[in-house]
Amino acid sequence: MYTRREGIKEGGDAATCGLIKLPAYCLSILLQTEPNQEKTRSSIMVWPFSSPERTSVSEDELLDLRGKVAIVTGGNSGIGYATVRVLARRGAKVYLAARSEERARAALAQLADEQRNAPGSTVPYGEVEWLKLDLSDIRQTKAAAEEVIRKEKRLDILVNNAAIGNVPYTYTADGLLEIMVVNHISPFLFTLTLLPLLQQTATSDPAADVRIVNLSSDAHTFAPHVSTFIGDEALNKHYEDTWLGHFRTYGYTKLANILFTSELARRLSSSSSSPNSSNITTLSVHPGNVSTPGSQQVTNTVPYLGWLTTRLSAWMSTTPKEGAYTSLFAAAHPEVKQNREKYNGVYLVPVGKVGKISENAQDERLARELWETTERKMKELGAL
């Protein structure tokens, strides 16, 4: 049965993971359950206090994006909004992709107000346009991508930022688990539908620099061991109907983001039909510990520890502006193009640093199975 939930978060719930991994770990101890790997333990306990080489990304460091076109999903709030803002300030035409027209229009008005009152940029401010995108509906997702193809002759940057987090288990009209649809299946479909335009942009100029950025999360390390992604059950897989089970399911979808990214990079690199696919760089990103209303809602609902985790999250977190640093590095920093072999297909953590991933996320067989299963299902439903 299809269940429509109001208020799907469109700002990238990867931001919540760092704030709730520690309480999730504590809760697993209370409930006598275990994370899937030792790597998970060190990631949970150490990462928030580590010292990455780069601590920020300034606008002036980024490429001049005049004449380029970008899409940011979930661009009306949080990390997505901060990403849209900076890409536009660097001169790109940006599609702010979001489900709610009211929220999108409010974001556009806020951007215009900030433009009027902000210090002058070194490049003219790019146009920002709303693109209706409902990731819980695969057919509308397909239509949104096709709208961009009709309107644009190029697409240089795609940031798949939007996601939902710890939510009750609901299903779409197609009988698919909604969190998997929003977090993996629809971004997969959106990207593949746009891929010919991205490839056209990459082949139009030997110096082209096309980026595909998928927001993932360190929460992927909390997904229990996955043996296969073959079959429809892999797309509907979820864990126990508890707070911790919901978090594990969220981690499972974030694992899918990393596997999709690495498999896309492999397929593009080996593609003989697109000789300049080497001009396309794909990356997955963990934004860090970012404070948003959505993350606070999640920490408040932690069983027994809600009051504590909410206070801990406020202490450990950064702002959405800071949370966007790694997305912006992936999308528009010249270092990525200069060192493409280093960055293509990898997982970045704040700020612009290649991060460690779980054994599941390193498994090329799982990545291939996930791709083939998702592609087959989309063809079966008439979306590809």
- Could you give the CA distance from residue 211 to residue 56 in angstroms, rounded to a whole number? 20
Q: b/e per residue, 113-146, with b = 16+ CB within 10 A?
A: eeeeeeeebebebbebebbebbbbbbeebbebbe
Q: At 123, which CATH number?
A: 3.40.50.720
pLDDT for the residue numbered 286: 97
**Tokens at 251, concatenated:** 């981690």
Give the span between the Cα atoms of 195 and 212, in whole angstroms.
Answer: 10
Residue 7 lies in a domain: no
Instruction: Show which residues are catalytic.
Output: 216, 250, 254
The answer to whether 161 and 128 have CB atoms below 8 angstroms apart is: no
Sign of CA dihedral 57, 58, 64, 65: positive
- Give the pLDDT of the chain (384 residues) as one tens digit per residue: 333 333 344 445 555 555 555 555 444 434 444 444 434 333 333 333 344 467 899 999 999 999 999 999 999 999 999 999 999 999 999 999 999 999 999 999 999 999 887 776 678 999 999 999 999 999 999 999 999 999 999 999 999 999 998 889 999 999 999 999 999 999 999 999 999 999 999 999 888 999 999 999 999 999 999 999 999 999 999 999 998 999 999 999 999 999 999 999 999 998 755 556 679 999 999 999 887 666 666 677 777 777 787 777 777 788 999 999 999 999 999 999 999 999 999 999 999 999 999 999 999 999 999 999 999 999 999 999
Whether 53 and 30 have beta carbons less than 8 Å apart is answered as no
pLDDT of residue 12: 53
Nearest to 295 by CA among 312, 280, 282: 312
CA distance 204 to 184: 29
Give the model's pLDDT for residue 166.
82
* In contact, 96 and 365? CB cutoff 8 Å: no
**Total domains present in the chain:** 1
Q: Is residue 8 part of a domain?
A: no
Structure tokens at 222: 């909390």
Q: Please report where in the chains the tokens 């508890």 appear, as a residue.
A: 242
Domain that holds residue 251: 13-380
Judge whether 5 lies within some domain.
no
Is 3 part of a structural domain of the chain?
no
Domain assignment of residue 92, yes or no:
yes
90 within domain boundaries: yes
Longest C-alpha distance within the chain, in Å?
57
User: Could you give the count of Cα atoms lying within 13 Å of 259 in the half-sphere of its Cβ?
Assistant: 30
* pTM tops 0.85: yes
**What ranges make up the beta strands (E) of the chain?**
69-73, 93-98, 128-132, 157-160, 210-215, 280-285, 347-349, 353-354
Q: What pLDDT score was predicted for residue 13? A: 56
In-domain check, residue 6: no
Sheet of strand 280-285: strand arrangement:
128-132, 93-98, 69-73, 157-160, 210-215, 280-285, 347-349, 353-354
78 lies in a domain? Answer: yes
Cis peptide before 351 (omega within 30 of 0): yes
d(CA 16, CA 359): 22
CA distance 343 to 69: 21
Tokens 């974001």 correspond to what residue? 107
Query: CA 75 from chain center: how many Å?
Result: 11
